[in-house]
């Protein structure tokens, strides 16, 4: 059978409310998630010994292959589907690592999609979702990478949302931000509730009102992430100073920052200007869906 291939798109948290810290130490969240055209690439050579090779610009930062979420997802899949066909994975890393883009989780979800295709499983097979949950809290939302609401610890997902495509620029200054450090800085005690605004029950279908609705609900992890990595503030300030930027916000637990613009042309112009100013940064113009 020929090699199977898929993309693992970056996950963008357009909003991210931390609703409470549970008594088990995990945090319940509420997030409007969309996915970017920027992506890692994953391929699977069927029926070879289960393995993973990693190449690409950020491969070294992805850590030891044995700890990669792709292999963890494959093993979770094998546990859910006894006798499943597996194979050799090749991951081309294009996204920054530890960057608030869900790159590892999206890679893992891509592995599950390839294994489902290889083994004739439907995309909505509950064993696929069970393997995703066993792999990591952000993996389920990445299984079917379309805009939706994510709640709980990432396990409660809305149906896909028909959002208008959002032109955006993604910027990462190269600093890795460990998620655990950000949550420690947030400092919620077990059982504590974190009050804040919520998205409207029905999101606007037009780009302008949608951006306004997104702007009214923050990323609660942005202030603690800036405290952990002050370089994020420089990225926010740089993007906010650009005339094309309609909304500037950090994604996930950082350090990637996105700017929403009116259209693709404005995003491309903004990206060129920022890259000329900061050639060492990772800068991508894209569409969020």
Which of 11, 40, 93, 220 is the catalytic position?
Answer: 11
Q: Are the beta carbons of 157 and 263 closer than 8 angstroms?
A: no
Eight-state DSSP code of residue 92: E
Which of 40, 93, 107, 138 is the catalytic position?
Answer: 138
Q: Are the beta carbons of 264 and 285 closer than 8 angstroms?
A: yes
Exposure on the CB side of residue 282, measured as CA atoms within 13 A: 21
How far is residue 50's CA from residue 120's CA, in Å, rounded to a whole number? 18
Q: Are the beta carbons of 62 and 97 closer than 8 angstroms?
A: yes
How far is residue 190's CA from residue 184's CA, in Å, rounded to a whole number? 12
Among 117, 106, 151, which Cα is nearest to 9's? 106
Concerning whether 11 is annotated as a catalytic residue, the answer is: yes
Among 250, 251, 248, which Cα is nearest to 259's? 248
- Looking at the annotation, which residues are catalytic? 11, 138
């Amino acid at each position: 059978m020929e090699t199977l291939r898929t993309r693992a798109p970056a996950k963008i948290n357009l909003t991210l409310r931390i609703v409470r810290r549970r008594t088990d130490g995990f945090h319940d969240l509420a997030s409007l998630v969309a996915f970017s055209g920027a992506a890692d690439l994953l391929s699977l050579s069927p029926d070879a010994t289960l393995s993973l090779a990693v190449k690409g610009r950020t491969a070294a930062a992805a850590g030891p292959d044995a700890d990669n979420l792709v292999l963890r997802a494959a093993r979770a899949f094998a546990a859910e589907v006894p006798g499943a066909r597996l194979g050799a994975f090749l991951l081309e890393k294009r996204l920054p690592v530890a960057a608030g883009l869900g790159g590892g989780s999206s890679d893992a979800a891509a592995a599950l999609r390839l294994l489902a295709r290889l083994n004739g499983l439907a995309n909505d097979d509950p064993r696929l979702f069970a393997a995703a949950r066993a792999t990591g809290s952000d993996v389920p939302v990445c299984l079917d990478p379309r805009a939706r609401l994510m709640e709980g610890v990432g396990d409660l997902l809305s149906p896909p949302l028909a959002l208008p495509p959002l032109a955006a620029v993604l910027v990462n200054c190269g600093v890795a931000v460990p998620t655990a450090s950000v949550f420690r800085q947030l400092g919620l005690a077990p059982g504590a509730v974190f009050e804040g605004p919520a998205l409207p029950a029905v999101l606007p279908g037009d780009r302008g009102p949608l951006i306004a609705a997104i702007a009214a609900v923050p990323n609660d992890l942005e202030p603690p992430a800036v405290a952990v990595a002050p370089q994020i503030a420089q990225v926010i300030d740089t993007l906010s100073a650009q005339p094309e930027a309609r909304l500037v916000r950090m994604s996930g637990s950082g350090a990637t920052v996105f700017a929403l613009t009116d259209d693709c042309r404005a995003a491309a112009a903004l990206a060129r200007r920022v890259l000329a100013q900061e050639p060492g940064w990772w800068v991508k113009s894209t569409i969020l869906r």
